[in-house]
């Protein structure tokens, strides 16, 4: 069987690799967010991580929880596919909602335009991988 179109990386599937990578990144981002000054736990405006992404402690906790969930899910193909798809869908929804709540009291995650762009990009990647990668591998397991 040809392996030129394989979605596997070593002994991990593409879904597992993406879940583990994104999980680690979101854990680091969540922890780093606590190093940025914020106006309050669920303040509508927060400190800027990397001078670009607005965060508050609630936003940081969300990143930590998502990172932990993705890392745990990366252990098996089925859970990685499910987590990538669910988290991707959640980020798509957050990106859409984020467009409407900027500058309002409903913005309890202190989202800004840069956050929205990143959420849409994350959604596209996670949904794309979760929905399309490793279908052959999942069927044979």
Q: What is the pLDDT along the chain (141 residues), one digit of tens a residue?
A: 333 334 455 689 999 999 999 999 999 999 999 999 888 999 998 999 999 999 999 999 999 999 999 999 999 999 999 999 999 999 999 999 999 999 999 999 999 999 999 999 999 999 999 999 887 655 555
| Tally of structural domains, the chain | 1
Residue 3 lies in a domain: no
* Prediction pTM value: 0.86
Q: How far is CA 60 from CA 8, 16, 21, 48, in A?
A: 31, 23, 18, 12
**Domain around 87:** 13-140
Residue 126 lies in a domain: yes
CA 67 to chain centre: 7
List beta partners, residue 47: 55
Residue 5 lies in a domain: no
Residue 36's SS3 state is coil
What is the DSSP code (8-state) at residue 3? -
């Amino acid at each position: 069987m040809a392996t030129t179109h394989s979605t596997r990386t070593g002994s991990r599937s593409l879904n597992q690799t993406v879940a583990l990578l994104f999980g680690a990144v979101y854990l680091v981002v969540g922890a780093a967010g606590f190093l940025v000054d914020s106006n309050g736990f669920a303040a509508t405006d927060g400190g800027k991580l990397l001078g670009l992404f607005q965060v508050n402690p609630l936003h940081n906790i969300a990143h930590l929880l998502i990172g932990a969930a993705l890392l745990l899910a990366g252990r098996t193909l089925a859970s990685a596919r499910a987590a990538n798809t669910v988290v991707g869908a959640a980020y798509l929804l957050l990106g859409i909602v984020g467009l409407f709540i900027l500058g309002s009291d409903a913005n309890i995650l202190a989202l800004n335009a840069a956050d929205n762009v990143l959420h849409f990009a994350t959604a596209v990647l996670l949904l794309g991988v979760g929905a399309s990668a490793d279908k052959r591998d999942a069927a044979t397991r």
